Amino acid sequence: MKILIKNATLISMSEKRKKIEENMDIKIEGNQIVGIGQNLNDSTVTKIIDATNKVVMPGLVNTHSHVPMSIFRETVDGYALQDWLNKKIWPMEDKLTKEDIYYASLLTFLEMVKTGTTTINDMYFMTEEILRAANNIKVRLQTSRTLTGQNSAEMQQRIEELNCLLENNMGKQQRITFNIGIHGLYTSNRECIQQCVAFAKEKNLPIHIHFCENKQEVEDIKTLYHTSPIEVLEQEFSFQKLILAHCVCLTNEDIAKLKNFKVSISHCPISNLKLGCGIAPIAEMLAQGINVSLGTDGQGSGCNLDLFETMKYTALLQKGIQQNAKLLPAYEILKMATINGAKALSLEKEIGSIEEGKKADIILLDLSNSVVAKPLNDLFSTIVYNAKGTNVVTTLIDGEILMENRKTLYEEAPIFEQCQKIIKRIQ
C-alpha cells in the first residue's frame, strides 16, 4: 500500500531535520517511509491522509509494561509494592487462563492504538497468547517470558520455556522482537541470576529487569546478596545491554556507576507514585549521559497507557523535586517518549523518528479543537503538558492505518465485555 500524508506540521524527532516543519508531506510505501518534503505528489498512491492543522510525529514507545495487566486497572489502591504483589496481584494471576491472557492483551493493544503508542516492551507469562493478540491488533512488541525463581531447577524450566518461545518466533515477524525478562534481583537468587545472564549472552539479547523500585526491594536485595543492588549489577551484569525499569532508589554514586553500563532506564513515574515508591532521580541520570525512556508499567499500578500523561508527570516531578524550573525542556521529554525509547529497545535504526528508510510508525494529533491548546504558543510544551492520548486521531504501525479519525479496525465491545467477565471471575 502507498500512503501520502499531506500538509502536516511535522515533528520528526530526527537530529538531521528542523524540530518543527510546516506544510510537510510524508510518503509511505509498504511499511517504510520513502519520502519527506513539501508538495510531494504520486499518482500511484492508494491512500491520501489530509494532515492539515494536525501534528504528525513518531509513534510513542513504552519501554516497560506487563501487557495482560489491563484487567487489573483500579482493582487495588492503598498498597505498597510488595503487599500489592503478594496479597492482591499474584493470587489473581494464578487464576488466569490462556484465553484470559489473550483478551487482556487485546485490551492493552487496543489502548495503545487509541492513545498513540506504537511500540511496547512487555514482561509477562503465557507469552504465546500475548503474541497472538499482538499479531491480531498489529502493534509493535518487544517481549519475553518472565524469568524468576529461587532454585536452579525452577529457573532452568523457565529458561527452557523462553528458549522454546524464541525458537518458535524470533525473526519470523518484523514487528515482534525479544529480550531476556528477569523479574528482579529480589525474586531470584544469585545462582538463578547467573543462569539468566548466561542465557542472555548465548542468545545475544538485552536484559529487561525491575531495579530498585522501592526501599524494601533494596533491603531485600542486600539481605539476599549481602551487597548493594548496584554492586550486584557490577558483579553479574557487566557488558550486558540492560533495560532497567524504575530505578527509584539510587544514590548519585549509584548513578555515576550506572553510566559505565550499556544501560537504558525506563522511567515509570505514575506507577511509582501510585505504589508509594518515590520519584526516580532521572535528572541526574540524564546529566550523566544515561539514556532515559518512559514506561507505564502495567495498568494495575500505572492506571493507563497514556504516555502523554506520563510525559507531563515526568517533566513536572523533576522540576519540583529539584526545585529547578529549567530542568527537562519539553523537547527532551518528547525524546524520552520516542527516540530514547527506540534506543532502549535497540530499535533506533527502525523507529523512534520520522526519517526516510525507517518504519512508518506514525501518529497524527489534532489540537485544533482542544480548548486547553488555545492559544498555541509553544507546540512542544502544549504536547507535553496539555495533550492527551485522546488527541491522537490517526495511528499507523508498520505502514498500516490501525486507527483513522478515532475509528479503529476492531470490534471493541466484545473485548471490553470479555475482560469485565475475567476480572469478575478472578477477584
| DSSP code per residue over 95-131 | T--HHHHHHHHHHHHHHHHHHTEEEEEE-BSSHHHHH
Q: How many CB atoms sit inside 10 A of residue 396's CB?
A: 26
Is residue 356 a part of any domain in this protein? no
Burial of 65 (0-12, 13-18, 19+ CB in 10 A): buried
Based on the fold, state whether residues 386 and 265 are members of the same structural domain: no
Based on the fold, state whether residues 249 and 300 are members of the same structural domain: yes
Q: Are 300 and 73 in contact (CB under 8 A)?
A: yes
Q: What is the pLDDT of residues 159-214, one digit of tens each?
A: 999 999 999 999 999 999 999 999 999 999 999 999 999 999 999 999 999 999 99
Based on the fold, state whether residues 71 and 220 are members of the same structural domain: yes
- Whichever domain contains 236, its CATH number is 3.20.20.140
Tell which residue, 408, 411, 402, has the closest CA to residue 59: 402
Is residue 110 a part of any domain in this protein? yes
Based on the fold, state whether residues 72 and 98 are members of the same structural domain: yes
SS3 (DSSP) at 238: coil
Is residue 419 a part of any domain in this protein? no
The Cα 293–Cα 136 span in angstroms is 27
Q: pTM to 2 decimals? A: 0.98
Q: What is the pLDDT of residues 356-383, one digit of tens each?
A: 999 999 999 999 999 999 999 999 999 9
Name the band, by pLDDT with cuts 50, 70 and 90, for residue 77.
Answer: confident
pLDDT at 76 over 80: no
Per the structure, the complete domain to which residue 217 belongs is given by: 60-344
Is residue 353 a part of any domain in this protein? no
Residue 180: what are its φ and ψ, rounded to 5°? -100, 105
Q: Are 138 and 165 in contact (CB under 8 A)?
A: no
Is residue 89 a part of any domain in this protein? yes
- Whichever domain contains 43, its CATH number is 2.30.40.10
Based on the fold, state whether residues 299 and 181 are members of the same structural domain: yes
Q: What is the pLDDT of residues 319-355, one digit of tens each?
A: 999 999 999 999 999 999 999 999 999 999 999 999 9
pLDDT for 313: 98
Based on the fold, state whether residues 51 and 66 are members of the same structural domain: no
pLDDT at 154 over 80: yes
Q: What is the pLDDT averaged over residues 48-60?
A: 98
User: In terms of pLDDT, which residue wins out, 299 or 78?
Assistant: 299
Q: How many CB atoms sit inside 10 A of residue 327's CB?
A: 18
Based on the fold, state whether residues 236 and 271 are members of the same structural domain: yes
Whole-number percent of the chain with pLDDT over 90: 96
Q: What is the pLDDT averaged over residues 372-401?
A: 97
Q: Are 228 and 221 in contact (CB under 8 A)?
A: yes
Based on the fold, state whether residues 210 and 322 are members of the same structural domain: yes
Residue given cell 469478575 in the structure block: 424
The Cα 138–Cα 49 span in angstroms is 20
pLDDT at 81 over 90: no
Strands 207-211, 241-246: parallel, antiparallel or unpaired by DSSP?
parallel
SS3 (DSSP) at 72: helix
Q: What is the pLDDT averaged over residues 304-328?
A: 97
pLDDT at 412 over 80: yes
Name the band, by pLDDT with cuts 50, 70 and 90, for residue 80.
Answer: confident
For residue 223, give every residue at least 6 positions away whose Cβ sits within 8 Å of its Cβ, in sequence order, or none: none
pLDDT at 79 over 90: no
CA distances from 368 to 32, 136, 181, 371 (A): 28, 32, 41, 8
Q: How many CB atoms sit inside 10 A of residue 338's CB?
A: 29
Is residue 423 a part of any domain in this protein? no
**Structural domains in the chain (count):** 2
The Cα 155–Cα 98 span in angstroms is 21
The Cα 125–Cα 90 span in angstroms is 12
Give helix 307-322 / helix 379-386 axis angle, nearest 10°. 100
Based on the fold, state whether residues 276 and 245 are members of the same structural domain: yes
Is residue 248 a part of any domain in this protein? yes
Based on the fold, state whether residues 233 and 379 are members of the same structural domain: no
Task: Tell me the Ramachandran region of residue 219: left when phi exceeds 0, alpha when psi lies from -120 to 50, beta otherwise.
Answer: alpha
Which run of H or E residues covers position 61? strand 60-65
Based on the fold, state whether residues 76 and 197 are members of the same structural domain: yes
Based on the fold, state whether residues 215 and 175 are members of the same structural domain: yes
Is residue 351 a part of any domain in this protein? no
The secondary structure of residue 227, as a DSSP letter, is: S
Q: What is the pLDDT of residues 278-301, one digit of tens each?
A: 999 999 999 999 999 999 999 999
Amino acid found at 157? Q
* CA-atom Rg of the chain in angstroms: 21
CA dihedral 108, 113, 119, 120 (to 10 degrees): -10
